[in-house]
Structure 1
Amino acid sequence: MEEYYWDSKIDYLSSTRGLYYNDDYIEFLVKAVWKINTPVHLIDFGCGTGYLGLKLLPLLPKGSMYTGVDAGIKLINRAKEIFKDLPYKTEFIVSDIQNIHLERKYDIAICHAFLLHMPNPTEVLKKMIDCVVDNGRIICFEPHWISNMANYHINGHDQSSLIQLGLLQKLFETDASREGKDGNIGIKIPVYLSQLGIKNIECRVSDKVNFLDPNSELENTSNLFNSLSEDGFGAVPSEHETFIRKLVDRGANHEEARKQYENELLLSKIFKNNIFLTYAPNMKITFGNVDRS
């Protein structure tokens, strides 16, 4: 039986999530924006190892419960291990989101960097909505890749020498039209939710800005450098002809593909833990209320 892809990415998931949020901003959302002041039952679609549960449960009223659903057996086992000695009420379900049937009993349905991997994200959103009680809430933490790519700065280098934003936007859009999986979905979710009947929709942007500072403590610099590396930033590109062929197959012309190879090769050479780098992921956080009246 073929291994579930994300079961092999536990280390990646564990080491990269800190790039996207400041804890105080999540606390601000829970207490000042969502104003959650009574116990709630959350369900997390594509929960992985329970990252959102770890972030949210300490901030929620006592008595709240977290249910995580994921198709990865290893992911769910790791989540159970992480939560087993924590003072929270949790349950974890191994299931393919595409096939699962859920009762309408949850106060909040959430997901994190999940819908971008779905070929039918609006159908998944419908499932999220259907399992939420009347006047419950949907919350989606999802990326907008092109804004991510526009928000890197490496001191001493023009961004255009490292990143072709126009080409990347074209590739992202082409991939989405071919496969349905959309790395830019974060900025589109407000529209999708409105079309599905959700009310009081808002979209926020995470305030996290990562700063790789060679003048800071070595441990901090090393941790951030390792997280960025694990996230794929500065990776050495594949063999030249293979790289070119794959980009051309995705819709780039030969000159665009050649330039992208040069960009990525240069970035892989200069990306060291002794450079100044700032990176703002701009994760989009969209939420609204289920109103069936």
Structure 2
Amino acid sequence: MTDAPEYADPQRYAELAGFDGGYRDLWWNQDFLELMAKRWGLHERAHVLDVGCGAGHWGLTLLDHMPTHARLTGVDAEPNFLELARARANARPHGPRCEFVTGRAEALPFADASFDVVTCQTVLIHVADAAAVIAEMRRVLRPGGILITCEPDNLAGNLALLGTSLPTSDEDTVEIIRFVQRCQKGKRTLGEGDERIGHQLPGLFAAAGLTQIRCHTNDRCMQLVPPYTDPSMRMAISQELAWARQGISIIAATEHDARRLHAAANGTPEQFEIGWSATHRWLTDFVEAVEANRFTAARGFVFYIASALR
């Protein structure tokens, strides 16, 4: 194992990000998206750019709420992700109206004022300079066009995820949050993004000269209640157990990356072992409770949706 992040391997990143299957579709309620599409006026828009499109989930989701002649362009730095996006688009009726190209969010390969919708989902948490990416998104947005970003505050979200039926002690809860906070500081130190970028979006939009800034929070809870017969519950359980069997939790990801980020924040090996052990106890308890059909949780997450006009 090298010091490089595990997500540097595109195939591994796709596994860690849940690109395969419908796990990411669990992030949204369709009636909520219909409401947001009305608020954003997507019925009047014709061309959407999905920045950092990955396997195409978010851009294709928005296209479902746009006119039948609307087009989608997805851009991502990883060609392997674009192949996944093309396959996903081609499996849908509007596949011919989709195009996916290689490019970086910091230097979008498009002319000024090319799109009337520019969007991204869970991208700004992974970039070194979110303001620079927003400036690029604004550049390629037409006057009167709308910019839409969906980004979390993962520190707050992790605290919410700890509110379950598990008997997690107060001491472990504190150690897990301290551990996660230190790892997130290490990520910022390494220039790999800010896991709390969601709550900064209004200020970043204002600084970029965008207007009519509006923020909302996602209304989705990925609730789990035995016997987990609901399709969305089965999908969530299947994905998270698959991660757990590799020692990966939705709170702290992989041990390799957690150790790397923790060290970048000047965390000591002793502090790492305390935090990782508490996180691993939580993960072990989660797996045992799910397999015994006794895990319950609302599992809300802190996901900000910000929009603004150019």
* TM-score of the two chains, using structure 2 as the length reference: 0.81
The structure 2 residue matched to 1:6, chosen from 6, 10, 17, is 10
Separation in 1, partners of 2:253, 2:91: 40
1:184-237 superposed Cα distances (whole Å, 9 cap, x missing partner): 111111111101100011111111111121234176543211233447337897
The answer (yes or no) to whether the contact 1:44–1:111 under 8 Å persists in 2 is yes
Specify the SS of the correspondent of 2:42: coil
Specify the SS of the correspondent of 1:93: strand
Specify the SS of the correspondent of 2:75: strand
The answer (yes or no) to whether the contact 1:72–1:94 under 8 Å persists in 2 is yes
Aligned to 1:95: 103
Q: Which amino acid aligns with 1:232?
A: S
Aligned to 1:264: 279
The answer (yes or no) to whether the contact 1:23–1:55 under 8 Å persists in 2 is no
Percent identical residues? 19
In the alignment, structure 1 residue 201 sits paired with structure 2 residue 224:
no
User: Does the C-alpha gap of structure 1 residues 215 and 39 become closer, same or farther in structure 2, counting only changes over 3 Å?
Assistant: same
User: Does the C-alpha gap of structure 1 residues 217 and 116 become closer, same or farther in structure 2, counting only changes over 3 Å?
Assistant: same
Aligned to 1:21: 28
Query: How many corresponding residue pairs?
Result: 286
In the alignment, structure 1 residue 52 sits paired with structure 2 residue 58:
yes
* TM-score of the two chains, using structure 1 as the length reference: 0.85
Aligned to 1:79: 85
Specify the SS of the correspondent of 1:179: coil
How big is the alpha-carbon RMSD for the aligned residues of Structure 1 and Structure 2? Answer: 2.9
User: Does the C-alpha gap of structure 1 residues 219 and 284 become closer, same or farther in structure 2, counting only changes over 3 Å?
Assistant: closer
User: Does the C-alpha gap of structure 1 residues 22 and 243 become closer, same or farther in structure 2, counting only changes over 3 Å?
Assistant: closer
Specify the SS of the correspondent of 1:276: coil
Deviation at 1:107, TM superposition (A): 0.1
Q: Which amino acid aligns with 1:155?
A: S
Separation in 1, partners of 2:55, 2:68: 22
In the alignment, structure 1 residue 148 sits paired with structure 2 residue 157:
yes
Q: Which runs of 5+ in 1 are unaligned?
A: none
The answer (yes or no) to whether the contact 2:27–2:220 under 8 Å persists in 1 is yes
Separation in 2, partners of 1:246, 1:105: 38
How do 1:37-48 and structure 2 match up within 5 A? 37-48=43-54
The answer (yes or no) to whether the contact 1:68–1:93 under 8 Å persists in 2 is yes
Separation in 1, partners of 2:177, 2:279: 13
Deviation at 1:135, TM superposition (A): 0.8
Deviates most, 49-58 or 81-90: 81-90
